[in-house]
C-alpha cells in the first residue's frame, strides 16, 4: 500500500508539472506584445538611440565630430524627439516635497525662476501658455513669436525646447526681447554650445527638421534617500556588486571607443557599439544583474534594481503619453545607453508601438 501511495503521489506531481504550472512557472496568457494590430493609419515608430553622456567625454572632444551622427538622425526624419531630461512640471512637483527629494535629485532640474520672474508666470502657468501658443502656431511664426516661446519654455522649466526655438531663429534675431532679458538670451547662447546630448544632438536635429520642441521624459520621482544609518552600507553593497569582470570589460571598451573619437567614423563607431544588440546584456551583467544577486542582509542591490526598473517604466510611460497625443508619430528617443535595453523591452509590450532598430541609421 505504501508503494502504491508513493506512486500515486508521484503521478499527481507529474500531472501538475505537465499540466497546470506551479507558482514559480506561471506566465500570463495575455501578451500585449503579440497584439499589435496593425492599426489604421501609420504606426507609432520609435527608435531608441543609446548614447554616452557627452559631458563625460574628454575635454578635447570636438562637438563638430557629431555631424555625421546628426545627419543620419535627421535623415530618419522623426516627428518628435524625447530626451533624458526632467520635465519642468515634474521638477515643480519634486520641489514641493523636500522631505523626500533633496539636492541630489533637484540638481537635475534647471532653475526657471529668472524667466518666470521676467514673464510673471510660474511653471504650471508657463507650461499652459506654451501649450496654448503651440496649439495656435501658424506655419511661419515671426522672430518675435519665437523669442516669446523661447522665454515661455525657459519659465516652464524646458530650456532645451527653448534652445530649439533659439536655433530656428536667424543668428541676427537671437537677441533679447519679447520676454527674454539679456541674461536669458545669454543663457540660451551658453546652453546651445554646451556638451550635452539634449542640446548638441537632439535640439540640432529638431531645429533642422522644423520641429518646435523636445519632449522631456526622464523621471526621478522614485528617488528616495536611504535612512542615514543605512546609507554607507547601501553604497558599499552596490559598489561591491559593480566590481566584477563584466564591468572591467565594459570600462576597457569605453576607453578604446573614446580614444578613437577623433578618427574617421570614431563617433559613429561609438554609437554603433552602444547600440549593438549585445550591449544591453553586458550592461546588465556589469550593473543591474550584479546588484540583483548581491547578498547583503539589507538587500540593497534589490532596492537599487527596483529604483532602476521603476524609473525606466515611468520614462517609457512618458514616451507612450507623447505617442498617444498624435498616433502615427515617428519618435526618436535619445537616452543614456544603460536605459536602452529597458526602454525597448518595455516599449515593445505596448500595442501601438513599433520599434525601429538603429543599425540602418548608423550604418
- Tell me how far the alpha carbon of residue 290 is from its chain's centroid: 22
6 Cβ contact list (under 8 Å, min separation 6): none
Inside any domain, residue 230? no
Q: How confident is the model at residue 153 (pLDDT cuts 50, 70, 90)?
A: very high
The number of folded domains in the chain is 1
Distance, CA of 357 to CA of 315 (rounded, Å):
19
Task: Using alpha carbons, select from 69, 38, 64 the residue that is nearest to residue 332.
Answer: 69
CB-CB neighbours of 43 under 10 Å: 18
Residue 50: left if φ>0, alpha if ψ -120 to 50, beta else—which one? beta
Q: How confident is the model at residue 297 (pLDDT cuts 50, 70, 90)?
A: very high
Q: How confident is the model at residue 12 (pLDDT cuts 50, 70, 90)?
A: very low
Cell of 141: 511664426
The answer to whether residue 318 scores a pLDDT higher than 50 is yes
Task: Using alpha carbons, select from 116, 119, 179 the residue that is nearest to residue 144.
Answer: 179
Could you give the angle at the alpha carbon of 58 between the alpha carbons of 107 and 283, nearest 5°? 70
The answer to whether residue 281 scores a pLDDT higher than 50 is yes
- How far lies 232's CA from each of 41, 145, 154, 222, 252, in Å? 54, 51, 37, 20, 28
Inside any domain, residue 183? yes
CB 112 within 8 A of CB 155: yes
Inside any domain, residue 281? no
CB 162 within 8 A of CB 188: yes
Q: What is the pTM of this model?
A: 0.92
CB 356 within 8 A of CB 44: no
Inside any domain, residue 252? no
- How far lies 166's CA from each of 111, 161, 203, 204, 330, in Å? 18, 9, 10, 10, 23
Mean pLDDT score, 327-338:
98
Distance, CA of 187 to CA of 152 (rounded, Å):
14
Inside any domain, residue 1? no
The answer to whether residue 10 scores a pLDDT higher than 50 is no
- Tell me how far the alpha carbon of residue 305 is from its chain's centroid: 17
Task: Using alpha carbons, select from 153, 149, 131 the residue that is nearest to residue 141.
Answer: 149
Q: What is the pLDDT of residue 206?
A: 98
DSSP string for 292-348:
HT---TT-HHHHHHHHHHHHHHHHHHHHHHHHHHSTT-EEEEEEEHHHHHHHHHHHT
pLDDT tens-digit map of 188-225: 999 999 999 999 999 999 999 999 999 999 999 999 99
Q: What is the pLDDT of residue 19?
A: 47
The answer to whether residue 6 scores a pLDDT higher than 50 is no
Range of the domain at 97: 45-222+309-362
DSSP state of 38: P
CB 86 within 8 A of CB 218: yes
Inside any domain, residue 139? yes
Q: How confident is the model at residue 14 (pLDDT cuts 50, 70, 90)?
A: very low
Name the percent of the chain lying above pLDDT 90: 92
DSSP string for 182-249:
HHHHHHHHHHHTSS-HIIIIIIHHHHHHT----EEEE--TT--PPPHHHHHHHHHHHHHHH-SHHHHH
Q: What is the pLDDT of residue 139?
A: 92
Stronger pLDDT, 18 or 283, i.e. the higher one: 283
Inside any domain, residue 250? no
Q: What is the pLDDT of residue 23?
A: 66
Distance, CA of 5 to CA of 193 (rounded, Å):
79
DSSP string for 290-307:
HHHT---TT-HHHHHHHH
pLDDT tens-digit map of 238-263: 999 999 999 999 999 999 999 999 99
Mean pLDDT score, 79-100:
97
Amino acid at each position: 500500500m505504501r508503494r502504491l501511495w508513493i506512486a500515486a503521489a508521484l503521478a499527481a506531481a507529474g500531472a501538475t508539472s505537465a499540466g497546470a504550472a506551479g507558482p514559480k512557472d506561471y506566465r500570463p496568457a495575455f501578451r500585449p506584445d503579440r497584439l499589435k494590430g496593425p492599426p489604421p493609419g501609420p504606426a507609432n515608430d520609435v527608435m531608441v538611440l543609446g548614447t554616452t553622456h557627452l559631458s563625460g567625454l574628454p575635454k578635447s572632444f570636438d562637438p563638430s565630430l557629431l555631424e555625421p551622427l546628426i545627419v543620419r538622425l535627421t535623415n530618419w526624419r522623426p516627428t518628435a524627439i524625447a530626451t533624458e531630461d526632467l520635465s519642468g512640471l515634474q521638477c515643480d512637483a519634486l520641489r514641493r516635497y523636500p522631505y523626500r527629494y533633496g539636492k541630489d535629485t533637484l540638481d537635475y532640474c534647471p532653475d526657471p525662476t529668472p524667466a518666470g520672474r521676467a514673464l510673471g508666470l510660474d511653471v504650471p502657468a508657463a507650461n499652459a501658455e506654451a501649450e496654448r501658443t503651440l496649439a495656435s502656431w501658424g506655419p511661419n511664426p515671426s522672430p518675435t513669436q519665437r523669442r516669446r516661446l523661447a522665454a515661455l519654455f525657459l519659465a516652464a522649466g524646458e530650456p532645451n525646447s527653448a534652445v530649439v526655438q533659439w536655433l530656428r531663429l536667424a543668428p541676427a534675431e537671437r537677441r533679447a526681447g519679447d520676454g527674454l532679458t539679456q541674461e536669458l538670451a545669454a543663457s540660451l547662447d551658453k546652453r546651445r554650445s554646451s556638451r550635452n546630448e539634449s542640446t548638441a544632438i537632439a535640439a540640432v536635429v529638431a531645429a533642422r527638421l522644423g520641429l518646435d520642441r523636445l519632449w522631456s521624459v526622464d523621471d526621478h520621482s522614485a528617488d528616495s534617500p536611504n535612512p542615514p544609518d543605512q546609507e554607507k552600507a547601501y553604497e558599499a553593497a552596490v559598489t561591491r556588486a559593480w566590481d566584477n569582470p563584466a564591468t572591467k570589460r565594459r570600462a576597457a571598451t569605453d576607453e578604446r571607443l573614446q580614444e578613437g573619437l577623433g578618427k574617421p567614423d570614431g563617433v559613429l563607431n561609438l554609437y554603433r557599439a552602444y547600440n549593438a544588440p549585445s550591449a544591453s546584456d553586458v550592461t546588465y551583467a556589469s550593473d543591474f544583474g550584479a546588484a540583483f544577486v548581491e547578498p547583503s542582509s539589507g538587500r540593497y542591490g534589490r532596492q537599487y534594481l527596483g529604483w532602476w526598473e521603476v524609473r525606466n517604466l515611468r520614462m517609457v510611460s512618458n514616451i507612450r503619453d507623447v505617442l498617444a497625443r498624435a498616433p502615427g508619430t515617428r519618435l526618436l528617443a535619445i537616452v543614456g545607453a544603460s536605459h536602452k535595453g529597458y526602454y525597448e523591452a518595455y516599449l515593445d509590450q505596448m500595442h501601438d508601438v513599433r520599434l525601429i532598430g538603429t543599425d540602418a541609421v548608423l550604418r
